[in-house]
Chains A and B, each alone.
Chain A
Amino acid sequence: MGETLLDKVWRAHTVKMLPSGQTQLFIGLHLIHEVTSPQAFQMLREAGLKVRLPERTFATIDHIVPTASQMRPFGDLLAEEMTVHLVRNCQEFDIRLFDLNSGRQGIVHVIGPELGLTQPGMTIACGDSHTSTHGALGALAFGIGTSQVRDVLATQCLAMAKPKLRQIRVEGCLARGVYAKDVILSIIQRLGVKGGVGYAYEYAGSAVEAMSMEERLTICNMSIEGGARAGYVNPDATTFDYLKGRSFAPQGGAFDRAVAWWRSMATEPGATLDDVVTLDGGSIQPVVTWGINPGQSVGVGDRIPNPAEAPETDRAAWTEALTFMDFKPGQPIAGTRIDVAFIGSCTNARLSDLRAAAQVARGRKVAKGVRALVVPGSQAVAAAAEAEGLHVIFQEAGFEWRKAGCSLCLGMNEDKLKGREICASSSNRNFKGRQGSPMGRTLLMSPAMVAAASIAGEVVDVRELLR
C-alpha cells in the first residue's frame, strides 16, 4: 500500500504522540510578520523562554507597510510602532529579518517560495491563514494563531491532529483567459467554504500538473478559503526547476540529493485517500464572486443566483450577501460597475500575475472614475516586473504602481476602500469590511479579469479583450 505525501511528511516530523492524542510535530520552517508575532514574543519573555531554533524562523514585514512611500518612520504611528517591535524582537531573539532595505521584503507567502526557503517535504507554519500557499512546492504548511506562534518559537513544534486527505483532481486543459484563480474559485464554489474543514487538500490531475509553480501557489493559497488548513501539490520537475538557483535552495551536489529526497516524498500510486473529487478544467470559465464569502461566485457569463435555489443551510447567507452587495437575483454579474481595481495580495501578486494583467492593460486606459492599483508581492517581483517594463505599461494605462505589501487585500495600511465602493480584486477574501471600509464591496477574480474590469469600468469577460 502506497503512502501519501501527507503521511510521509507527517511521519518524518513526528516527535511523539501527546497525551491529548495529538502529534507533536516538528516545524521545519517558521515564518513570522509584524501582526501576529509581537504578542507571542511577549509571552516568551513572560515565560522566560528562548527561541529554540532561531535559524529556522524568518521574518518579514508586509501587512501594515505603506505601499506609496516606504520611508521610515511611517506616517502611521501604529504601523511604525509595530515595525519597531518586529525589528527589536528579531534582534533580541536572533531571527533573520527581511526588512524594507533588504531588497527581499515582501508578502510572507510570496518571499518564502521566491527565496527558496520553502522546499518540498518540509513542515511550515506561519501566523497567517494563507500559509497553505507554500504547499504548492510539496510542503505541508499550516496557518496558526499567536499562541501557536509562541509554541513554535519556544519549541519548534506544534501540537496537531493529522488531517484527513482529499485529492482534488482538475483534469483537461484550461481555456484561454482562464487562470489558476478561476480554478480555485471553482473548487471552493463546488465544495463550499466549509467543505475542507478537517482535511488537507492534495491538488492533482493533468491541469494542475501542467501549471507553473506560480499558478500552483495561487491554488494552494486559497485552500483555507475552502476550509482546508493545508493544501499541496506533489513535487515534480516543475518544482525542482523552480527551486534551482534560489538563494536558500541547496546548491550543486546537495541539490541533486535534495531532488532525490523531494521525489521520494510524493504521494505514491495506490495510496489511500480519504476522498477524491474531480473537476473538468476545460469547462471552467472566468469566475467572479457576487457575495460575502469566496464560495459565492459565478462564471462571468452567468447570472447572480436566487437564494430560493440555495441549499437550505446557505439560504440566509445568500440573502444577507445580496442585501449587503445590493445585487438582485438573476442580475448578470457582467456589467457590474466598479470603483476600484486591485492587483495584488499573496494570492495573485507574482510576476506571472502582473504579466497576465499587463497583457490586458497594454495600450489601453483605465476607465474614468476607477482607481486602479498594482501592488507587487515582493521587492523582487517589483524589480523583475520593472526590468521588463511592466510598470510602464501599467502607469501608461493609468494604474498606480506601488511598493510591495499586503495593501488593499485587508486594508491595514492606507490602501482602503471608501464607503460603498466596489472593488474588482485579485485578492482572496470578499468578507464584509475586508478591504478597509465596513460597507465596502469586493468582487474576487483573476488579475487579468481585474485589469479588464479596470479598463471597462465594469465586470467584463477578459476573453473579449484577449482576442
Chain B
Amino acid sequence: MSGDSVRRQIVGRGIPLPGNDIDTDRIIPARFLKSVTFEGLEQHVFVDDRLQAPDHPFNEDRYQGASILVVGLNFGCGSSREHAPEALKRWGIRGIVGGSFAEIFFGNSTALGIPCLTVAPQDVEWLMGTVAHHPEREIVLDVEAQRVRLGDRTIPARLPDAARKQLLTGTWNATAVLLEAGEGIERVAKDLPYLRGY
C-alpha cells in the first residue's frame, strides 16, 4: 500500500451537524443515485435539509472548507448506499467524529479511508459547541492514539481495532488483502455442501 493511503491523523477545521439518527437518505436523497458514477454527488449532500433550513451547517460560509464532521448518535443509519460517504468525501470531509455510527455507513466510510471516531456524548456536545464558536480552529483526529484534540483540550475517542489497523496500515481498500488468500478461497468453497450439489 502506498504511503498516502495511511490515515494516522486527520487535521482540519470542523463542521457540526447536530441531531441523532441522521439517515443516508438525508445525506444524499435517492434521486441523486441515478448515475453510474459517484461524480458530482458533493453538490447534493444534505440537499433537502439545506433547502428547508437555510442555516444548515453545510450552507454556512464559516464551515466551507471544513474537513472534519461532528455528528450525534447513529449517524448514517438506513440505506447502505456508499453514495453517502462518497458525497461527504467529495464535499471535503476527511474524518468524522460522533456519538455513534450505523454499521454499514461505518464500514463504507472506512472503505473510503474516512475514519469515524466515537466519543462520549458530553464530548460530542462540547465539540459541537466549540466548533460553532470557533469554526476557524483545527481539529486533530488522532487515529493512532484514539483521541481528538481541539484547541488545548484532548478527549479520548474510540475506533474498533480492525478499522484502526486498516487505516493505520493503509489497507482499507480490502480487495488486495482478500486476494492474498488465493486458492484458500476455493478450498472453502469446495467444502460447502450447497456448492457441490449437497
Give the number of residue pairs across the A-B interface with Cβ within 8 Å. 216
A436–B38 Cα distance when bound, in Å, is: 20
Given contacts A145-B108, A147-B174, 12 further A-B contacts (CB under 8 A): A20-B161, A28-B195, A131-B80, A147-B108, A156-B189, A193-B21, A194-B77, A224-B104, A227-B103, A250-B197, A293-B23, A317-B19
Contact B33 A35 (CB under 8 A): yes
Interface presence of B166 (CB below 8 A): yes
Nearest Cβ on chain A to B56's Cβ, whole angstroms: 13
Count of interface residues, chain B, beta-carbon cutoff 8 Å: 65
Interface size on A, residues (CB 8 A): 84
What residues of chain B lie closer than 8 Å to A258, measured between beta carbons? 193-194, 198
Q: Which of B37-67 contact A (CB under 8 A)?
A: 37-38, 48-49, 51-52
Q: How far is the CB of B144 from chain A (nearest CB, A)?
A: 15
Query: In the complex, which residue of chain B has the Cβ closest to the Cβ of A257?
Result: B198
Nearest chain A CB to B181 CB, angstrom units:
5
Segment at the interface with A among B24-32, B90-98, B134-142: B24-32
Chain A contacts for B171, CB-based, 8 A: 19-20
Q: Which residues of A contact B145 (CB under 8 A)?
A: none
29 residue pairs of the A-B complex, CB under 8 angstroms, read A15-B188, A26-B189, A35-B81, A47-B175, A63-B33, A78-B35, A121-B193, A128-B79, A128-B80, A143-B80, A144-B104, A145-B82, A145-B107, A146-B108, A147-B108, A154-B175, A154-B179, A155-B175, A157-B181, A159-B162, A194-B100, A227-B77, A227-B102, A250-B198, A255-B198, A258-B198, A293-B23, A317-B21, A431-B26
Contact with B along A210-247 (1 / 0, CB 8 A): 00000000000000110101000000000000000000
Contact A146 B82 (CB under 8 A): yes
From A21, A42, A159, A314, B37 is in contact (CB under 8 Å) with A42
List the B residue with the shortest CB-CB distance to A163: B103
A129 contacts chain B at the CB level, 8 A cutoff: yes
A342 to chain B, nearest CB (A): 15
Which residues of A sit under 8 angstroms from B19, Cβ to Cβ?
A: 316-317, 320
The CA-CA distance from A150 to B82 in the complex, in Å, is: 12
Contact present for A38 and B36 (CB under 8 Å): yes
- The proximity string for B residues 149-167 relative to A, scoring 1 for CB distances below 8 Å and 0 otherwise, is 0000000000011110110
Query: Shortest distance in angstroms between B15's beta carbon and chain A's nearest beta carbon?
Result: 19
User: Bound complex: CA of A64 vs CA of B32, how far in Å?
Assistant: 12
Cα A411 to Cα B26 in complex, Å, equals 14
Choose one: B103, B192, B193; the contact of A257 (CB below 8 Å): B193
Cβ of A433 under 8 Å from chain B: yes
Chain B contacts for A150, CB-based, 8 A: 175
On whether the beta carbons of B48 and A432 are closer than 8 Å, the reply is yes
- Chain B residues within an 8 Å CB radius of A147: 82, 108, 111-112, 173-174
- The reply on A22 being an interface residue by CB < 8 A is yes
Q: Is A49 an interface residue when CB atoms closer than 8 A count as contact?
A: yes
Q: How far is the CB of A139 from chain B (nearest CB, A)?
A: 10
**CB closest residue in chain B, given A86:** B36
User: In the complex, which residues of chain A have a beta carbon less than 8 angstroms from the beta carbon of B29?
Assistant: 433, 438
* Binary flags per residue of B168-194, CB closer than 8 Å to A gives 1, else 0: 010101110111010011001101111
Contacting pair B181 A20 (CB below 8 A): no
| B101-131 contact mask (Cβ, 8 Å, vs A): 1 or 0 | 0111001100110000000010000000000
Within 8 A of B (CB), among A139-176: 143-148, 150-151, 154-159, 161
Residues of B near A159 (CB, < 8 A) are 162, 174, 177-178
Which chain A residues in 279-311 approach chain B with CB under 8 Å? 293
Q: Does B34 contact A (CB under 8 A)?
A: yes
Contact surface of A with B, Cβ cutoff 8 Å: 12-16, 18-22, 24, 26, 28, 35-36, 38-39, 42, 47, 49, 52-53, 56, 63-64, 76, 78-79, 81-82, 85, 119, 121-122, 127-129, 131, 143-148, 150-151, 154-159, 161, 193-194, 197-198, 224-225, 227, 229, 250, 254-255, 257-258, 261, 293, 313-314, 316-317, 320, 410-412, 429, 431-434, 436, 438-439
Chain A residues near B85: list those with CB within 8 A.
145
A410 touching B30, Cβ below 8 Å:
yes
Question: How many angstroms from the CA of A334 to the CA of B195 in the assembled complex?
Answer: 51
- Give Cα A82 to B166, complex, Å: 32
User: With a CB–CB cut-off of 8 A, which chain A residues contact B9?
Assistant: none
Q: Please indicate which of the listed interface residues A158, A254, A433, A434 has the most CB atoms of chain B within 10 Å of its own CB.
A: A433
A144-B104, A145-B104, A316-B20 are contacts. A85–B36 as well, Cβ < 8 Å?
A: yes
Asked whether A15 and B102 contact (CB < 8 A) given A147-B111, A257-B198, the answer is no
Bound: A151/B179 CA distance, A: 9
Known pairs A154-B179, A257-B198, A432-B25; A314 contacts B80 (CB<8 A): no
Chain A contacts of B102 at CB under 8 A?
A: 194, 197, 227
By a CB distance below 8 angstroms, the chain B residues around A82 are 34-36
Give the residue name and chain of the A residue nearest to B36 (CB): A38
The chain A residue sitting closest to B29, CB to CB, is A433
Interchain CB contact under 8 A, B111 and A18? no
Tell me whether A157 and B185 are in contact (CB under 8 A). yes
- Find the B residue at minimum CB distance from A291: B21
Task: Give min CB distance, B162 to chain A, whole Å.
Answer: 4
CB distance from A238 to the nearest CB of B (A): 19
A161 pairs with B160, CB closer than 8 A: yes
Q: Quick check: B52 and A431 within 8 Å, CB to CB?
A: no
